[in-house]
Structure 1
Amino acid sequence: MYEYLTGLVTVVQPNYIVVDVNGVGYRLLCANPYRYHVDQTKRVRVYVYQAVRDDDISLYGFADSDEKELFIQLLGVSGIGPKSALAILANPDHQGLIDAIADDDVSYLTKFPGIGKKTAGQIVLDLRDSIQKKPTGPLLSLNSQPTKTDNPALDDALAALKALGYKEREVKKLAKQLMKTDAKTTDDYLRAGLKLISQ
């Protein structure tokens, strides 16, 4: 899995760029390729997500890790594929998108191509718990980390549950229940958490 590429932008097209990294050209599909310019002297860092399907392997490029994280979270929504996620991110107002999700503003989300009322509602349902307003400013941040406690073993177990695909709200609820158990190790907490989920 790639995290980012650093190299020279050699091609800019309407839906992709090519980044030359030590003589190898990587084609990266981008929400807005025109934020980059062909420049044989200035190296750029582009964050990358690799999507593998039966008939295709594609690389998606992002200006920063926050944009990449937002793309990944959008992919986790039922009915949203890479093409739809890129179309949503093509709007430079990512803050407006995050605000809309946090505020349950379905009508804002239906303005994006291919996003109907049902899919917009699903975006809000799936992502609102992972988006958190910062009280000290207008910016919002993606809250991709599970609930933190004063117990490192429990924290690791919660992180493992989230890595398995459980939603933030499920993990938060489990954290409270797991604190009441007599588990001591990460493995104990993880086993107890999985048992509670399956009940």
Structure 2
Amino acid sequence: MYEYINGLITNIYPAYLVIADRSGVGYKLFVANPYRFEQNVESHVYVEQIVRENEMTLYGFIDENEKYLFNKLLNVSGIGPKSALAILASDDAAGLVTAVANDDASYLTQFPGVGKKTAQQIVLDLKGKLDDLALSAGMTVETVPTTDNQSLADALAALESLGYTAKDVAKLQTVLANQKDTTDGYIRSALKFLVK
């Protein structure tokens, strides 16, 4: 229902903060780390409303990527809002994304409330689903080698923008590196290779 709230952060507590909008309503937002916000400062806080049988709760996020990751974590069997916030509190989204991409469940057990079984479930449920987050946040999960061939570089960038993973694009670069072609030609060759 809500996307974000603009307002004055009036109070900061260990588990939540209060933000007052211009109409004078104060919203209680549970956040991963409330001390990343400043009290008595106008802020733009992204929110997610969770409605349960006996409660309606607002969760706040410092940016859209944190909100996106929170929602992805909620889709994991065994992870609820409080566990998702505990994972986000570490402020290591890049580490989380990399661990999922590399099937590193042992890395995930460092988060509070995440045992071996839950860590394996996170990897299983989120594998390949965090690539968009990595790209939009500028994270490097798996580096795509650079190339001096501008046409090939443009083709690889276009393929990433189409939603192909960094892993797929890296494979394509090695396949296409020995060819001389236009950007369009590289894209056509890559798509033929991908649909095999």
Partner of 2:32: 31
Gapped regions of structure 1 (runs ≥ 5): 141-146, 150-199
Q: Displacement, 1:43?
A: 1.4
Partner of 2:19: 19
Q: Displacement, 1:92?
A: 1.2
Deviations 1:134-158 (A, max 9, x none): 5xx6435xxxxxx969xxxxxxxxx
In the alignment, is residue 85 of structure 1 matched against residue 93 of structure 2? no
Deviations 1:50-107 (A, max 9, x none): 0000111100000000100000000000000001000000001111111111111100
Q: CA RMSD in A?
A: 2.0
Equivalent residue pairs, number: 140
Partner of 2:169: none
Q: Which amino acid aligns with 1:35?
A: R
User: Structure 2-normalised TM-score?
Assistant: 0.67
Partner of 2:4: 4
User: Structure 1-normalised TM-score?
Assistant: 0.66
Deviations 1:138-194 (A, max 9, x none): 435xxxxxx969xxxxxxxxxxxxxxxxxxxxxxxxxxxxxxxxxxxxxxxxxxxxx
Within 5 Å, which residues of 2 pair with 1:102-181? 102-132=101-131, 138-139=139-140
Q: Displacement, 1:122?
A: 0.7
Identity %: 55
SS in 2 for 1:5: strand
Gapped regions of structure 2 (runs ≥ 5): 142-160, 164-196
- Alpha-carbon separation, structure 2, partners of 1:29 and 1:99: 26
Deviations 1:7-34 (A, max 9, x none): 0000000000000002000000000000
